[in-house]
Structure 1
Amino acid sequence: MLLKAASQSLTEQLAGRFAERIRNRLLASGARLPSVRQCAQQQGVSASTVVAAYDRLLAQGLVEARKNRGFYVREMATAQEERAQPAINSVASTKSSTGFQPQHNPVNATALIRGMFHGSSDKAQPGMGVFPMDWLETSFMPAAVRRVTSARALQEFSLNYGEPAGDSGLRQALSKKLASLNIPAAPEQIITTVGATHALDIVSRTLLRAGDYVMVEEPGWAIEFARLAAMGMRILPVPRRADGPDLEVMARYCEVHAPKLFVSVSVFHNPTGYCLTPGSAHRVLQLANTHNFHIVEDDTYSHLAPEHATRLCALDGLQRTVYVSGFSKILAPGWRVGYLAAPPELVERLLDTKLLATLTTPALLEKALAWCIDQGQLRRHAERIRTRLDIARARSVKLALAHGCSFAAEPAGLFGWVETLVDTDALAQRMLDEGYLLAPGALFHAARQPSTLMRINFATTQDAAFWKVFAKLRDGMK
């Protein structure tokens, strides 16, 4: 709330609020500020106060005025983004005879990262991509760390780099875990990483070169779109359906662009919650064999899914596929332990890429994690989380429906893909004033465009107070 009795004027308070959001990337480059009239109504101030606040933002170089269109957040490209821009522009100008156009992601992906971890308030955040901290609290994790940090062991871990591919005990445990998913991966085919995102980066840097075409599911993870674009890749968005990727689109891309890689989330796809069907999986693998591209399967949410869920790597036997997963979502975000499993002929190349970037991964945490897996602690913890999530999902869905929303995909997993019937970019800014961080649908597309969808976290949207505020602000936009 803007306070008339505060030491700062209303103009200073309003300008400061927008400036903070822009600098914290909660307002991404290119985002449109509310019109003067809309902002005045939302904040309960005069139009002249809004004009004066926007003038301050102009003077600070944070926004730009576009004639007859309003005020927009200025582009704050990093040196890396500027270097990637020529390659990205060449993609945007390429129009194929298929009618499908390669896209880049103009969304500043760090807006999503910073936003997800920005402490806007102490309220449960519907746009968060992780479980609440109290869900992840355990007694076995501290015990695991104590077991591997005796004075002698701690000194040994600290004075050595550790094994290049990762702790052998953890890789053996992961091999057994993958076998339960029908994915044949010997310990020698597994490489530990600093989280699943690092694993995806290793695969991309090993298999791709600037200018290569990459197929990525859409809607999809904004970070993946931006990461590939920053590397100079040409992104081919593949519509994701309930049964899997749009195979006709993939086939046309293959005929015209000869893509080198397909990035897929088979199980509990983010943000829709879709799971791949066996029939669709077989056809994807047929395309990969016919057109000679690799597939990286991101199974970040494997701990929430049934073991019998269809996975490309299980059907393919790690021939053209690379499996990626991690433990940040289910166990310990701060530990940053992930891994990949790859065909034998790719392992050394992938390991070289890892060594060039990080030399090694933290052996202490990997040994602690191996103990948690071997003792069955991780399995039991995941079972508790799944049970709790099922209850949360049912409550969240009931509240969403009661407040006039619908679901664009059948609710499943951690996330819900919700239809709001209003522009969720604009709604997100209004909700931020109330202390709630949304994940608007535009963030999950290769090329930002207005969307009426939003992604919600079922674990953090069980509070009726959130939905009451949401419905009030949404109805005010209709």
Structure 2
Amino acid sequence: MDEIANTVNLGPEAGTLQRHAATTLAEQLSAQFSARIRNRLLPPGSRLPSVRECAKRYGLSTQTVVAAYDRLQALGLVEARAQRGYFVRVPGDTPALARRSATQTDAAAPMLAPTHATALVRGMFHQMGAGAAVALRGAPGSGVLPAPWLESAALGAALRRIARANELEQASLHYGHPLGDLALREALSRQLAGLSLQVPPQQILTTNGASQALDLVLRALTRPGDAVLVESPGWAMQFAQMAHHGLKLLPVPRGADGPDLDLLDQLARAHAPRLFICVSVLHNPTGQSLSAASAHRVLQLARRHGFQVVEDDVYAALAEPSSPRMSVLDQLEHTIYLSGFSKILAPGWRVGFVAAAPAVIDRLIDQKLLAVLTTPTLTERVLAHVLGQGQLRRTTQQVRDRLDAARARAVRLAEKAGCRFVTPPRGLLGWVDTGVDTATLSQRLLDAGYLLAPGHLFDPQQQPSTRMRINFTQTQDEAFWRAFAAARR
């Protein structure tokens, strides 16, 4: 089979293997897998294709594939497990030779914690370019809107206004307030009032995105070994954050109306959790929103068992203001509200915030000072001006209108390709059943240049899954769905 052609196609992200090149096919193939491993597109613990599958997929002999895998073993990047196959080694088990090789070859891609969640996020950044070693055609599994959808002159105009008002120097040459810029906190207070959440500016703390907001909450309110309730499915990056803090995750199945309340009660009785991390509106990855009855019941359990509800509302702008939020029902007595603007306005500015009771905010200030001292006043003041001018409201409405059309098209294409929606499609994200193992499917589609979000990423225990998350705005291309259908077959 190796002698049929002069090149072997490994997909658009990998280029081709040259049969008459200075290096052997085995060396070229091992180099392609090495690049994926270093860039976390094959994260630690993941299984390489079997020798026979790899040979068939790339049109090589099994001897060539074995030789390539042997080279990866020699570099310390993979390990062979009897009767199971070849697996990517975790960084702590990787010999110094492999670590030096990875550093010398790609200094721009530092080693990260061995979490599968980072593979998806790294892949999204590689799709954006900036000298990426692996080029991708698309990221159907991403959780963000396309950059062209967010293009707006509002931020630039606000920045120029601040410069003309001589606020630029003041915002740049002095540390900001530990809570965050007062103008932004006042604007956020007014915005939250529109959701019927009454929060004074002194109960709002700004952060570098909603991810840091959760990190500060975990630092302030938990200790290693504490139990934390989480939704299943849920967002993998949050699971990774909690695992990094040494917390014990207690998965609670998430249904269309909310979490399994009986199991939530049982787990709370048995383990005395400190927190319940959840999404009330446009849940990631299912797109569902909490019912009012479920919201009330969760709050009752929080009061009874003494845990705090951490409500992640990062997709708030894409939801109706009237959607039930536990923080609104509770007015922050037993709830902590997290949100940000990366999903709708300024992803690169990394502006998030926490709204909580005064005692919680006081503890969060200490953690913020230890982590970053303060957040950038300039970007916060510009954002405050944009909010004050009503630009976010106008941008949000335009995005919602476009999203409705994109969702309808993506649903048609997904169902035509053989997918079944596990929950009714809403918001930006869809939760679909493919009928096949999506971890294997994601590797096959990576060969075609597409980055999926397989279902095991959203399981706190990372069990195999036939489900995957899709982004409705990133799944408009029929070429992707043709590649998907072929890989699924």
TM-score normalised to the size of structure 2?
0.90
Name the residue aligned to 1:155.
169
Name the residue aligned to 1:263.
277
Rounded to whole Å, the distance in 2 between the matches of 1:70 and 1:215 is 34
Name the residue aligned to 2:439.
425
Matched, 1:335 2:330: no
> What letter corresponds to residue 251 of structure 2 in structure 1?
P
Name the residue aligned to 2:79.
64
Matched, 1:193 2:201: no
Rounded to whole Å, the distance in 1 between the matches of 2:303 and 2:122 is 39
Q: Deviations 1:147-189 (Å, cap 9, x if unpaired)?
A: 1224832221222101111111111111111011111111111
SS in 2 for 1:117: helix
Matched, 1:139 2:158: no
Rounded to whole Å, the distance in 1 between the matches of 2:429 and 2:304 is 34
Name the residue aligned to 1:112.
120
Name the residue aligned to 1:289.
303
Equivalent position to 1:252, from 266, 289, 295: 266
> What letter corresponds to residue 74 of structure 1 in structure 2?
R
Name the residue aligned to 1:385.
399
Q: CA RMSD in A?
A: 1.6
Name the residue aligned to 1:473.
487
Structure 2 portions without partners, runs of 5+: 1-8, 10-15, 95-112, 128-133
> What letter corresponds to residue 34 of structure 2 in structure 1?
A
Name the residue aligned to 2:372.
358
SS in 1 for 2:246: coil
Equivalent position to 2:142, from 114, 117, 128: 128
Equivalent position to 2:340, from 310, 316, 326: 326
Q: Deviations 1:43-79 (Å, cap 9, x if unpaired)?
A: 1111111111101111010111111111111112499
The more displaced of 252-261 and 68-77 is: 68-77
Name the residue aligned to 2:23.
8
> What letter corresponds to residue 226 of structure 1 in structure 2?
A
Contact 2:91 2:114 in 1 (8 A): no
How many angstroms does 1:395 deviate by?
A: 0.4
Contact 2:337 2:356 in 1 (8 A): yes
SS in 1 for 2:427: coil
Rounded to whole Å, the distance in 2 between the matches of 1:326 and 1:78 is 37
Rounded to whole Å, the distance in 2 between the matches of 1:78 and 1:159 is 45
SS in 2 for 1:339: strand
How many angstroms does 1:121 deviate by?
A: 3.3
SS in 1 for 2:464: coil
Matched, 1:437 2:438: no
Rounded to whole Å, the distance in 2 between the matches of 1:288 and 1:106 is 33
Rounded to whole Å, the distance in 2 between the matches of 1:354 and 1:393 is 38
> What letter corresponds to residue 59 of structure 1 in structure 2?
A
How many angstroms does 1:473 deviate by?
A: 1.1
Name the residue aligned to 1:407.
421
How many angstroms does 1:254 deviate by?
A: 1.0
> What letter corresponds to residue 65 of structure 1 in structure 2?
A
> What letter corresponds to residue 29 of structure 2 in structure 1?
L
Contact 2:136 2:450 in 1 (8 A): no
Rounded to whole Å, the distance in 2 between the matches of 1:399 and 1:6 is 41
TM-score normalised to the size of structure 1?
0.92
Rounded to whole Å, the distance in 2 between the matches of 1:402 and 1:235 is 37
Name the residue aligned to 1:90.
none
Name the residue aligned to 2:44.
29
Q: Deviations 1:206-228 (Å, cap 9, x if unpaired)?
A: 11111110001111111111111
Structure 1 residues 451, 142: closer, same or farther in 2, change over 3 A?
A: same
Structure 1 residues 149, 122: closer, same or farther in 2, change over 3 A?
A: farther
SS in 1 for 2:368: helix
The more displaced of 118-127 and 459-468 is: 118-127
Structure 1 residues 5, 473: closer, same or farther in 2, change over 3 A?
A: farther
> What letter corresponds to residue 39 of structure 2 in structure 1?
N
Equivalent position to 1:349, from 340, 363, 367: 363
Equivalent position to 1:398, from 399, 406, 412: 412
SS in 1 for 2:426: coil
SS in 1 for 2:120: helix
Contact 1:184 1:318 in 2 (8 A): no
Rounded to whole Å, the distance in 1 between the matches of 2:406 and 2:473 is 6
SS in 2 for 1:325: strand
Rounded to whole Å, the distance in 1 between the matches of 2:66 and 2:241 is 37
Structure 1 portions without partners, runs of 5+: 80-104
Equivalences for residues 367-382 of structure 1 within 5 A:
367-382=381-396
SS in 2 for 1:334: helix
Name the residue aligned to 1:95.
none
Q: Deviations 1:393-449 (Å, cap 9, x if unpaired)?
A: 100000001111111111111111111111111111111111111111111111122
Q: Deviations 1:354-401 (Å, cap 9, x if unpaired)?
A: 112111111111111011111011110011111111111100000001
Name the residue aligned to 1:92.
none
> What letter corresponds to residue 168 of structure 2 in structure 1?
L
How many angstroms does 1:122 deviate by?
A: 5.3
Q: Deviations 1:292-348 (Å, cap 9, x if unpaired)?
A: 110110000000000010100001011010100000111111100000100123221
Name the residue aligned to 2:473.
459
Structure 1 residues 380, 151: closer, same or farther in 2, change over 3 A?
A: closer
How many angstroms does 1:29 deviate by?
A: 1.3
How many angstroms does 1:5 deviate by?
A: 4.2
Contact 2:162 2:382 in 1 (8 A): yes
Contact 2:291 2:324 in 1 (8 A): yes
Name the residue aligned to 1:207.
221
> What letter corresponds to residue 316 of structure 2 in structure 1?
S
Name the residue aligned to 2:98.
none
Q: Deviations 1:264-309 (Å, cap 9, x if unpaired)?
A: 0111100011100000000100000000110110000000000010
How many angstroms does 1:110 deviate by?
A: 2.1
Equivalences for residues 176-191 of structure 1 within 5 A:
176-191=190-205
Matched, 1:54 2:69: yes
Rounded to whole Å, the distance in 1 between the matches of 2:412 and 2:167 is 51
SS in 1 for 2:348: coil
Name the residue aligned to 1:232.
246
